Structure 1
């Protein structure tokens, strides 16, 4: 011990004889934390094993969800399908909607693709360095909490608007999403093959192939999309005309030719430009109304 304030005074450290000095082997031996429950524990293997167990449970849960609900696959990609509306996964819907606005698309597409996302994610990365306060209660951190709440509200709003607009587009264009259409076809096929619960529909054929309307059809614009056999292109959203008379009358078909329907624009003027007359179009509509399955 030292007494007084002399700088050259000798300092003597007095140890406690009750504390046993550890040997080299004891100092190298890891401490057993079991004597201090809830305080600390060895990282390897105790803590790491718990993390692995939690990870395995989460992974098994994800695998169960993946196997219970198959991926909603559509038809094979068709670049000619103008009726297809591309949609990203739900967690990118807010960005998809953001790129629809004038100030983030067109001449400002770089701002929408790089600028705005870079600002948002850059701020997220810098948040731990900018907000260095020790307070953990959110109401005591007004700036950080306000930015977080504003971001959540913005992403939620853009996601909702994007999905609502998609539903409106489907309704206006009379489009059934491909994955839903394929699922319906799959269920219909299983029901038909599962014991005759549903009677197999008779394959439709061209009716009155020698009618004058059939010759006019070969000259009309209908041929380009619906094909010579009237089978259309279902994968591209172009319906078949085989059996169209079962659901549409001559007047209905004439109205579709003149006014269009869904993705199909009015075909009256293009047919007139190709040399057809009003009488020819009338015969064409009459022949298409004759296309019935029974």
Structure 2
């Protein structure tokens, strides 16, 4: 209660009853070294984040990530790959010093030292300056880490044919074809072809899909006996009668897909 001014109530005694204008402090005495958080610094951060977000959305719209089919535990030819942001660690494990008997070095020691060094960078370089040339240790470690990640990611991605992989592993809609898994033809397919072409004939990383192929029954039978491309000969182990049943099964599935 203030004499002559009446009584004022506030929710917290630490809050002043007198409202002050929200005017940032004057930092003109320290040009280039600091600035007001609101609105100067926050506005810059918001603009930078908006530019990155718009660019990222444009990239995902122009190059959408391809979806693969459902996981098939019977497909032994499928080669799993990590997400793109872990490809550099995946590539690291291909080198002799980080694989085989030195696998613990590749999965624990080297990544642990790298990320630990980045965490320690602010404590190793305590210089007062904020410009890059005034922080040689921290900037050098960050540039080394960035260059390593970019190079390892590029090396890993350059050895993968992403279009072919997406085409081979594209999901087949369940309603597209109806596969009779109780038929004799499917049993023959299961024993001779499933390990490479998948349980739903969808194909895999090392074998194409058998749905939607433009080949006659005679051509399919010839390929099963003589092979084609990377497929070796004599893949089918059975009699001519069994081969005919297998071919008719594959042809019937493709007739449904048309």
User: What is the match of residue 75 of structure 2?
Assistant: 81
Tell me the alpha carbon deviations over residues 172-224 of structure 1, each in whole angstroms, 9 at most, x when there is no partner: xxx932368749x99xx9xxxxxxxxxxxxx9xxxxxxxxxxxxx96995453
Residue 78 of structure 1: how far off its partner (Å): 2.2
Match of 1:234 among 194, 198, 202: 202
Any stretches of 5+ residues in structure 1 without a counterpart? Answer: 1-27, 190-202, 204-216
When residues 245 and 162 of structure 1 are mapped into structure 2, their CA distance, relative to the original with a 3 A threshold, is same
| C-alpha contact (below 8 Å) 1:221/1:267 kept by paired residues | no
Tell me the alpha carbon deviations over residues 232-289 of structure 1, each in whole angstroms, 9 at most, x when there is no partner: 6115456438753279386555321xxx754x55545x72xx6x4xxx49x948x959
Aligned to 1:155, what secondary structure does the other structure show? helix
When residues 156 and 88 of structure 1 are mapped into structure 2, their CA distance, relative to the original with a 3 A threshold, is same
Q: Tell which structure's C-alpha radius of gyration is larger.
A: 1
Q: TM-score, normalized by length of structure 1?
A: 0.49
Residue 85 of structure 1: how far off its partner (Å): 2.5
Aligned partners of 1:35, 1:122: CA distance in 2, in Å?
Answer: 36
Q: TM-score, normalized by length of structure 2?
A: 0.55
Greater displacement, 92-101 / 34-43: 34-43
Q: Which has the higher helix share?
A: 1
- Are residues 1:176 and 2:164 paired? yes
Residue 97 of structure 1: how far off its partner (Å): 0.8
Residue 95 of structure 1: how far off its partner (Å): 0.8
User: What is the match of residue 130 of structure 1?
Assistant: 124
| C-alpha contact (below 8 Å) 2:93/2:106 kept by paired residues | yes
- The correspondence of residues 63-142 of structure 1 with structure 2, limited to 5 A, is 63=57, 65-66=59-60, 70-133=64-127, 136=131, 138=133, 141=136
Any stretches of 5+ residues in structure 2 without a counterpart? Answer: 1-19, 178-183
When residues 180 and 139 of structure 1 are mapped into structure 2, their CA distance, relative to the original with a 3 A threshold, is farther
Q: Kindly tell me the number of residue pairs found equivalent between the two proteins.
A: 214
